[in-house]
Amino acid sequence: MRYLILIPLLIFASSSFATSEQYVVRTEATFCKYKPGKGYDDVIKHAKKYEKFLRANGLQYSKTIFTPVIAGLTSDHDYVLWGTWPNGEEMYKEYGAFLNDYDAKGSQNPGICDRNVAFFNTAALHMRIPLDERDKIQMVDFRSCKFTENASWEKILKLAVDNEEANIKLGRDGFGVHYLRPYRGFADGNPFDMMTMTHYYHRGKRAEATKTYPAIRDYRRDNGFGERWRENIESCSPNNLYAMEWIYDTSN
């Protein structure tokens, strides 16, 4: 991985617009294939059994499921289970309870899961819409990026704030962006330093983002966003599109 200048995450209160709060959570991703005769609904049903254990023990954890839509070669997985804790303390409390107290580990699991990794998950920007206007299954774009030699995490986060302001100015909303940095489960020589995750709350907002993209592209070009991005990001892969559905959240 590239050297990254790590400066504490800041909330940039000097903005002239009211931008969203940036925060960090821990996230794990588990890559799975369906067992013969099993499918999507079986995975949801099985996951919800664990929700009961979490709530009974006061554990804070959320679960979503991702399935590939336009994601290139995905022969190693049919779906990805995505689990998130509000912080590292809750992560290890939940893992400890699962390892020691949960009696149904692996029972009737509808999938075969052979890869698990964890990220530092930074919420970089959000332009939310009301809950009752959100799709049950939402579209999410992922791409992998490499840092430059002297990348600054503070500058990357400040650019996200300025990007949110630009979108607000142009009337764009209905999506959020997360930056995922490798934490556990990655081999040496991992080919990326950060993944960007852009999730759209509604299908209409995803379509609208495509229609209005030329305006935000030109604004960024005219205001030096590209130069600031390239100062910190050496390269990024094309986006891969997944579908995302919430299964449960015991942290609220």
Tens of pLDDT, residue by residue over 102-139, are 987 766 899 999 999 999 999 999 999 999 999 999 99
DSSP for the chain, written as a single string: ---EE-------TT-SS-PPPPEEEEEEEEEEEEPTT--HHHHHHHHHHHHHHHHHTT---EEEEEEEEE-S--TT-SEEEEEEESSHHHHHHHHHHHHHH-TTTTTT-SEEEEEEEEEEEEEEEEE---GGGS-SEEEEEEEEEEE-TTEEHHHHHHHHHHHHHHHHHTT--SEEEEEEEEEESPPTT-S-SEEEEEEESSHHHHHHHHHTHHHHHHHHHHTTHHHHHHHHEEEEPPPEEEEEEEEEE---
Q: Is residue 15 over pLDDT 60?
A: no
Query: What's the pLDDT band for 13 if we cut at 50, 70, 90?
Result: very low
Query: What's the pLDDT band for 7 if we cut at 50, 70, 90?
Result: very low
Fold of the domain spanning 16-249: Alpha-Beta Plaits (3.30.70)
Q: Domain ranges for the chain, please list them.
A: 16-249
| Residue of higher predicted confidence among 19 and 103 | 103
Q: Is residue 5 over pLDDT 90?
A: no
Say what the pTM is: 0.91
In the numeric block, which tokens belong to residue 245?
């559905």
- Rounded Cα distance, 198 and 185, in Å: 23
Task: Please tell me the predicted confidence (pLDDT) of residue 232.
Answer: 98
